[in-house]
Amino acid sequence: MNPTIVSGIEVSNKIKEEIAAQVKLNSAKGMKTPHLAAVLVGNDGASKTYVNAKVKACEAVGFKSTLVKLDENTTEEKLLEEIRKLNNDTDLDGFIVQLPLPKHINEQKITQAISPLKDVDGFHPETLGKMLLDLPSFLPATPMGILEMLKHYNIPTEGKHCVVIGRSHIVGSPMSVLMARNSYPGNCTVTLTHSRTKNLQEITLQADILIVAIGKPEFVTANMVKDGATVIDVGIHRIDDASKKSGFRLIGDVKFNEVAPKCAFISPVPGGVGPMTIASLLKNTLLAYTHKY
């Protein structure tokens, strides 16, 4: 089988073009520029890379962006104070606090301190509650990006069995809710699995759509996937590779070369879900902006 590659680069570029056109239009009407801020605590390499990519993406679509850099030893109280400032900044439409945070800071406390009106990552309990009740709200950025990919490639979802591997609040759990919703993409029968699931292979072999967010390199192999399935790989891992100029390569939670020949659709790593998370963040920021103006 020759699978269709579900390219997040292609879909995110299309979304970014649409957003840039909207910003231009607003600007011509004399409206202010959408403004997104990112808070980075500490020096985590992957976090720095993600935040820089977000700042670049803002520039590309004509958004104003602010990067708030805080020291690794920043106290929880100091970070909460910074969040209060951002919540009250009327020029700011949305902001994110880059995770993971240093161990001495309670992530839940920080997430809950962000104003739901500016929660463009979609992690606040109020935001997730609205998603659960199918009320208008921001959607968590990565699950929202996956929905956009399914839509762009017209991947059928109605009546399909969707198996999600991974139950995090950031991807797995919201994904399972969204794929069951009475809309497109959605209307799936959903099974949410995780590291404690028994007979996992038996369940994944029933999946028409398999969304993998377990955080283990090349965890899903060909013998876990049925012929003609759609596989969306959310994982991203750096693996040492001396043959590469960078000294490493990126792989996902799915053993791509082995699994791809069995699929109708499959997303690669890199170039799959990753770019979609940033595009969704921009989309949510525009949404926050339009609610205000």
Q: Please report, for the chain, how many H helices and E strands are present, in that order.
A: 10, 11
- Dihedral (Cα; 47, 85, 20, 31), 10-degree rounding: -170
* List of residues 6+ apart from 97 with CB closer than 8 A: 38, 39, 41, 79, 83, 110, 111, 114, 121
Indicate if 54 belongs to the active site.
yes
CA distance 84 to 87: 5
Task: Let me know if 98 is a catalytic residue.
Answer: yes
According to the 3-state scheme, what is the secondary structure of 199-216? CHHHHHCCCCEEEECCCC
The dihedral through the CA atoms of 77, 79, 80, 82 has a sign that is positive
142 backbone dihedrals φ, ψ, rounded to 5°: -70, -50
Q: Given 16, 98, 119, 262, which residue is catalytic?
A: 98
Pair of tokens at residue 289? 């902006």
β-strand 248-251 against 237-240: which pairing, if any? Answer: antiparallel
What is the H or E stretch that residue 233 is in?
A: strand 229-233
Strand partners, 250: 238
Catalytic residue among 93, 118, 119, 121: 121
Which of the following is catalytic: 54, 118, 160, 262? Answer: 54
Helix%, strand%, coil% for the chain, nearest 5: 45, 20, 40
H or E element, residue 73: none
Show which residues are catalytic. Answer: 54, 98, 121
